[in-house]
Amino acid sequence: MLQCTCTQAGIATAEKEPLCTQPDEIGLVPIEEDPLIGETPQGTLQSWLTPNPLFYVRNHYSFPTPEETASWKLVIDGNVSNQLELSLDDFRQYPKQTLPITMECAGNNRSDLQPRVPGNPFQNGAISTAIWGGVPLYEILAKVGIKSGSIEVLFEGMDGGEPVPGVAKEQYLRSLTLDMANNPNVLLAYEMNGEPLSLEHGYPLRLVVPGWYGMASVKWLKRISLITVKHRSFFQGERYFIEEDDGTETPVEDIQVKSLISWPQDGGALVQQSHNVSGLAWSGSGHINRVQVSSDGGDTWEDAKLVGPRYEFAWQQWNYSWTPASEGHYTIVARAEDEQGNLQPMETRWNKFGYVINGVKPVCVNVS
């Protein structure tokens, strides 16, 4: 059972459903200005599809200028028989594939960790869902003639700089194994929710790796290279791993099973009547099969109802009808289970970089 740690001070006396409407000028919750980092506001996390202007933004470096992207072409080279150079118009000649994909930053909910760790203090909002449009990566790789000995595909973004102060400048670089790169769901995307990519989301072209944390989905792609050795750079070697108890390092890859409560919000005050507790659940391992809700901090659980669209790589909406038995203070928690049997843990495993924070997150309310 989770022990409630909230305070009673400042909690409102009553709040009625539905959730109050958001201000007209709502925007991203700012984290940093340069590089631009912002998270999706809590109120938007009730919607299955995230509007483009409210899709979270996570950058390691300043993004390219419009002048830098004006003459853009993508180079595909390395251990290949036929080097290619493709424009955006070239990509549009291929049949377009669209996929609804939930993308989550590996540091989402970092502010929940105790003791605190360095890094962007994300709350719930470093996660969003869009319908991405583009060309499957494997179709492009099939055109270049991959030579024997290739083991990884290296992706280079147009953005670069010092990863941290005092470390030599480098471009943003990430790689995928050849098997993963040939997964038919991995996209070279030029559209987001039916609109051209905006600059902050990777225009002209970005990689989208469904089921993996967002660091794998390299923005502003300028080069794809077939390589014969394992890649290691700052953002794939010095970061994005979790150190295990025995000292080994596990790379951050698949999104771990997780859920959030969209309504009610933490600190809310409710009247003693029936309420519709609602939220979202997701996993990089496939569909969500079950969500359970507890109003006593995890002592007892009941099944929520899965509702809304159901896609392999997108989050699942859920709701649960709850009538408080009496007035008082309640700690509501939700946990998800995916089709592989992975169950959301009650607590996150603390790690020094603050990645993969998927323990249940309590929402405390007062009922009067």
Strands 84-86 and 74-78: antiparallel
Residues 6+ apart with CB under 8 A from 20: none
Domain end residue (candidates: 251, 278, 293): 251
Give the pLDDT of residue 25. 54
Name the domain boundary from 221, 251, 281: 251
Are 216 and 264 within one domain?
no
Do 303 and 185 lie in one domain? The reply is no
Domain harbouring 149, CATH code:
3.90.420.10
Mind listing the pLDDT tens digit for each residue in 101-137?
999 999 999 999 999 999 999 999 999 999 999 999 9
Note the pLDDT tens digit of each residue in 18-50: 333 333 457 999 999 999 999 999 989 999 999
Task: Give the pLDDT of the chain (368 residues) as one tens digit per residue.
Answer: 787 877 553 344 333 333 333 334 579 999 999 999 999 999 899 999 999 999 999 999 999 998 899 999 999 999 999 999 999 999 999 999 999 999 999 999 999 999 999 999 999 999 999 999 999 999 999 999 999 999 999 999 999 999 999 999 999 999 999 999 999 999 999 999 999 999 999 999 999 999 999 999 999 999 999 999 999 999 999 999 999 989 899 999 999 999 999 999 999 999 999 999 999 999 999 999 999 999 999 999 999 999 999 999 999 999 999 999 999 999 999 999 999 999 999 999 999 999 999 999 999 999 99
First to last CA, the chain: 23
143-149, Cβ contacts within 8 angstroms, sequence gap of 24 or more: 143/76, 143/82, 143/84, 144/76, 144/80, 144/81, 144/82, 144/83, 144/84, 144/226, 145/80, 145/81, 145/82, 146/79, 146/80, 146/81, 146/178, 146/226, 147/79, 147/80, 147/81, 147/226, 149/79, 149/228
Residues 298, 229, single domain; the answer is: no
State the DSSP H helix or E strand holding residue 106, giving kind and residue range, or none if neither: none
Phi, psi (deg, nearest 5) at residue 178: -60, -40
Same domain, 129 and 155: yes
- Regarding whether 357 and 263 lie in a shared domain, the answer is yes
Q: What is the pLDDT of residue 62?
A: 95
Same domain, 217 and 336: no
- The residue segments making up the domain with residue 137 are 37-251
